Amino acid sequence: MHSLLTLGKQLFSVLFVLANLFATAAFAAGDVVLTLENTSEGVVVELTEDDLMALPQAVVLTENEFVDGLAEFSGPLARDVIALLNDPDMDMLTLTAINDYSVEVPVVDFAEYDVIFALFQNGNRFSPRDKGPVWVIYPMTDHEELQDRVYNDRLIWQLVRVSAL
Amino acid sequence: MKKNGLPRLVVLAVILGVSGFAVLGYNAFRKDVLAMQAASQEDITWTSFQLEQELGRFRDALNQFQIDGTGVDASTVNTRFDILWSRIAVFQQGRVGERLAQYDRETLIVPRLFSQMKSVDRRIVNLQDTAKADAALLVLEFAPYADELREFSRFVTLGEETRGREIREQLQAGVNRTLLLGGLAIAIALFSLAYINRESMRFRRLAAANRKLADVAEKASRAKSQFLTMMSHELRTPMNGVLGLLALSKQGAVQKNQLHLIEQAEQSGRQMVGLLADILDFSALHSDELHLENKPFELTHLAHAVREQFTPLAKREGISFDVTVNQNCPPRYQGDFRRLRQAFSHLAQYVVETAGVRDAEMEFSCNNSALVVKLSFDYLSHGGEWTPDLILGGDRRDDRAFASDALGPAIARGFIEAMNGTLLVDNPVGERIQVIARIPIEEFVVTALGVAVITSSEAMAAICRAALSTSDIDFLQKDDPTEAHIVLVEAGNITEGNFLVRARENHPNALIVGLGTPINPDAFDFSVKLPLDFHELREIVALRTA
């Protein structure tokens, strides 16, 4: 029964990947993919995919609940991105996904760990029909204390807005 | 022993059994905890609900798209379609996807929904803002999935609740098992403690009984030793008297054949005194009551004394016995001259009597503040029973250790070890064997010599002063309390014993030189025969002075 289930899942995955390959959804060059805002300071920073790619890129090799085995994620470090807001007094951030799902994250997370705003998984750019444009990735394999539901909830994908509280 | 064997085995088996249960229980408990951790790390109820929610939002977008003025256009519908697509993607990967897929294995609602989405993908992507009718059609096409997804969400929620309850029950069972095993372990520990305590008390009683037995044996041994010592003393005193009378009888007019008999009697008497001295020494060694002297002596005198003591036996046995002193050694040392002489004499005697040697050599040398004496001999020349164990003091504890010829080597070894020395038998080279004694020893440096004279005759004292008048010597007066380095004692007559006692009392560390032929030669370090040989006396003193 279990093997049948696994086989079915694999078939489904193959079909899903093929479907994604032929899917037309993609990010157009020059489109804003991530907006940073600090409402108290009245600062808004809009970033395109090229802007995110221009920042220093980091690689995180980790597992989590949503991928099969170890996966290589790459993208700018979260602390480098929020540094663009130029507000050292920030302590909490609200990360919002494209479907308006949001989660609050302490800024100290980004200082203590190499959290990245991942754009790629195993060299493939995230599609808007998967986790794109941005998936927040914590290095969970390297830090056992991060393998907890609190941090699992912070693995927000389809991230489009970062707001300082 | 049989009585205690069974409980020990049972205890061991129970401990092993409980340990096995503890390991199994721990593993089961660990698995439960890991399952709990995995279950709590991601709430798949929320994920399934999100899929249902995003389908609803997509359908809402399609509905509002048909109504003018809502602000929802084809782009908004496409975005909602992409988000719905991404929710489907969650089912494809990771532990979350795996767990969700397990719930969907009967209805296959997610694959069917995905199939539907793929079939309308082109229509959504190419949706025109004016195509209201197509949007209405799409709403109808996706309508059946809403109820099914709601049912799926409910199924997941119920399933997770059941799973959580099962895990909690497993954990509770694990805790109960752990408590049971813990209680069992405590009970076993208490039982073991009681058992160990009982055994410990038994061994303590046994040890106390053994101690009592050892004390009794020790007392008996000490009593025997004391008896032996006392008897040796008691026998030696009359023997000295006999020797004294024999010496006196020689001074009278006796026939040559009578003189020969007296000398034989003297020799036997001396052997008897020597044997008694050995017994006393052996007894002292075994009762740790041996008091070593620390007096200056000449190394050449030691070699000479060993040669003198051994020569009669060597002559009798027809053996060539050579004693040499290494010229590079310091001339004087400080130690127990008498015990050293006895030790080396006993060694030589044992070798000659047991190894059947034809010739033997004894070399006195020094090496790094140690006196090194090498006794080499030709083994197997005439056969013989050579037993180095008696010299080396091996672990042999058979009746051989108490044989008549074992006393000499035992005393030699005992003296050498009492002086912190070592004794070894070198590997034979051909038929030649070498016994090596190495004894730590201190060199003696002479400063000034005080000489006391104890005689019954003032004339004898004057003769001594005259004999030594040329030497740098300070003769002490009769009542001078200063301790002398050398005491010249009149020997060979009835006053010898008293004079010796006085000499020992007033000059405990002095060299005792007998004037005449001593009745008890062992009591003297040296003796000079009468009529007094000035040269010999000066040589003894000169050696000390040098």
Q: What local confidence, expressed as pLDDT, does residue A78 receive? A: 97
CATH number reported for the structural domain that contains residue B340 in this entry = 3.30.565.10
Of A23, A98, A152, the CB nearest to B83: A98
Q: How many CB atoms lie within 10 A of CB B439?
A: 21
Cis peptide before B7 (omega within 30 of 0): no
Q: Which residues of B197-233 are buried (b: 16+ CB within 10 A; e: fewer)?
A: eeeeeeeeeeeeeeeeeeeeeeeeeeeebeebbeebe
Q: Does A70 touch chain B (CB under 8 A)?
A: no
Among A12, A146, A148, which would you mutate to test the B interface (most chain B Cβ atoms within 10 Å of its Cβ)? Answer: A12
**pLDDT score of A133:** 94
Residue A117 lies in a domain: yes
Cα(B528)–Cα(B516) distance, integer angstroms: 6
The predicted-structure confidence for B92-142, as pLDDT tens digits, reads as follows 889 899 989 999 999 999 999 999 999 999 999 999 888 889 999 999 999
Cβ contact, residue pair B92, A149, below 8 Å = no
- B137 and B51, same structural domain? yes
Distance (Å, rounded) from C-alpha A9 to C-alpha B187? 52
Q: B107 and B168 share a domain?
A: yes
Spatial separation of the C-alpha atoms in residues A65 and A71, rounded to whole Å: 11
Could you give the CA distance from residue A111 to residue A134 in angstroms, rounded to a whole number?
19
Give the mean pLDDT of chain A: 87
Cβ contact (<8 Å) for A16 and B98?
A: no
Set of chain B residues whose Cβ sits within 8 Å of the Cβ of A66:
90, 93-94, 96-97
- Is there a contact between A12 and B40 if contact means CB atoms under 8 Å apart? no
Last residue of a domain, one of B423, B443, B463: B443
Same domain, B334 and B386: yes
- Please tell me the predicted confidence (pLDDT) of residue A24: 43
CB-count exposure of residue A136 (10 Å: 0-12, 13-18, 19+): buried
Whether residues B165 and B34 fall in one domain: yes
B397 pLDDT band, cuts 50/70/90, is: very low
User: Which token pair is A89?
Assistant: 């007094």
Closest chain B residue to A1, measured at CA? B105
Let me know if residue A10 belongs to a domain. no
How many Å separate Cα B195 from the centre of its chain?
A: 31
Residue A84: give the domain boundaries. 28-164
How would you classify residue B196: left for phi > 0, otherwise alpha for psi between -120 and 50, otherwise beta? Answer: alpha
Q: Which of B421, B443, B465 is the last residue of a domain?
A: B443
Q: Do A23 and B121 touch (CB under 8 A)?
A: yes
Q: How many helices (H) and strands (E) does chain A have?
A: 5, 11
Q: Do residues A30 and A157 touch, judged by C-beta distance below 8 A?
A: no
In terms of Cα–Cα distance, which of B354, B484, B476, B376 is closest to B433? B376
For residue B364, the enclosing domain spans 295-443
Single-letter code of the amino acid located at B466: A
Contact yes or no for A143/A113 (Cβ under 8 A): yes
- Whether the per-residue pLDDT at B88 is higher than 90: the answer is yes
Determine, for residues B89 and A19 on separate chains, whether the beta-carbon distance falls below 8 Å: no
Which residue has tokens 């597992």? A63
* Residue whose entry in the numeric block shows the structure tokens 């008091």: B291
What is the percentage of chain B residues whose pLDDT exceeds 70?
A: 91
pLDDT in tens, B26-81: 777 777 777 766 666 667 898 899 999 999 999 999 999 999 889 999 999 999 99
Q: Do B114 and A19 touch (CB under 8 A)?
A: yes
Residue A3 is assigned to a structural domain of this protein:
no
**Measuring CA to CA, how many Å separate B384 from each of B354, B355, B402, B428?**
6, 5, 19, 16
Q: Are residues B117 and B57 part of one domain?
A: yes
Q: Which of B544, B294, B336, B296 is nearest to B444 (CA)?
A: B296
Q: Is the pLDDT of residue A164 over 50?
A: yes
Instruction: Name the pLDDT band for B446 (thresholds 50, 70, 90).
Output: low
Residue indicated by tokens 């069974």: B6
Q: How far apart are CA B411 and CA B285, in angstroms?
A: 8
Q: Are strands B295-298 and A135-137 parallel, antiparallel or unpaired?
A: unpaired
Q: Are B513 and B489 in contact (CB under 8 A)?
A: yes
Here the ipTM equals 0.85
Chain A, window 99-118: residues with a beta carbon less than 8 angstroms from a chain B beta carbon:
99, 101
Segment B517-527 shows an average pLDDT of: 89
Give yes or no: residues B30 and B169 share one domain. Answer: yes
Is residue A21 one of the residues assigned to a domain? no
Residue B143 belongs to some domain of the structure: yes
| Residue B482 within any structural domain of the chain | yes
Query: Of A147-161, B138-152, B342-356, which gets the smallest average pLDDT?
Result: B342-356
The segment with the largest mean pLDDT, out of A60-74, B245-259, B403-417, B526-540, is: A60-74
Domain end position, chosen among B176, B195, B214 = B195
* CATH code at position A70: 3.90.420.10
Chain B residue with the nearest C-alpha to that of A97:
B83
The structural domain count of chain A equals 1
Are B139 and B7 in a shared domain?
Answer: yes
Both B60 and B45 in a single domain?
A: yes
Q: Distance, in angstroms, between B198 CA and closest chain A CA?
A: 50
- Cα–Cα distances (Å) from B315 to B318, B322, B355, B363, in that order, read 5, 12, 16, 19
DSSP string, B185-252: HHHHHHHHHHHHHHHHHHHHHHHHHHHHHHHHHHHHHHHHHHHHHHHHHHHHHHHHHHHHHHHHHHHS
Tokens 């599609």 map to which residue? A127
Best-predicted range by mean pLDDT (A138-147, B310-319, B378-387) = A138-147
B204 to chain A, minimum CA–CA distance in Å? Answer: 54
- Give the helix/strand (H/E) hosting B301: helix B299-317
**Type of residue at A65:** E
Strands B320-325 and A159-164 turn out to be unpaired
Judge whether B144 lies within some domain. yes
Q: Does some domain include residue A135? A: yes
Q: B337: which 2 tokens?
A: 């001259």
Same domain? For B67 and B174 the reply is yes
- Counted residue by residue, chain A has a size of 165
Report pLDDT for A48.
95
Give how far A87 is from chain B: nearest CA, Å.
Answer: 32
B381, B325: one domain: yes
Longest Cα–Cα distance of chain A, Å, equals 58
Cβ <8 Å between B82 and A68? no
Q: Which residue has the tokens 């249902």?
A: B52
Q: Residue B246 above 50 pLDDT?
A: yes
User: Of B13, B37, B51, which Cα lies nearest the Cα of B153?
Assistant: B51
Q: Contact at 8 Å (CB) between B391 and B362?
A: no
Cα B371 to Cα B377: distance, rounded to the nearest angstrom: 20
- Look at residue B206 and tell me if it is in a domain: no
B394/B510 same-domain check: no
In a domain, A86, yes or no: yes
In terms of domains, do B70 and B185 share one? yes
Decide if A26 touches B, using CB distance below 8 A.
no
pLDDT digits over B324-349, tens only?
999 888 888 889 988 899 899 888 88
Interior/surface letters B96-110, b for 16+ CB within 10 angstroms, e for the rest? bbbbbbbbbeeeebb
**Structural domains counted in chain B:** 3
What residue has token string 């020797």? B243
Distance from CA of B86 to the nearest CA of A (A): 4
**Chain A residues within an 8 Å CB radius of B92:** 9, 12-13, 16
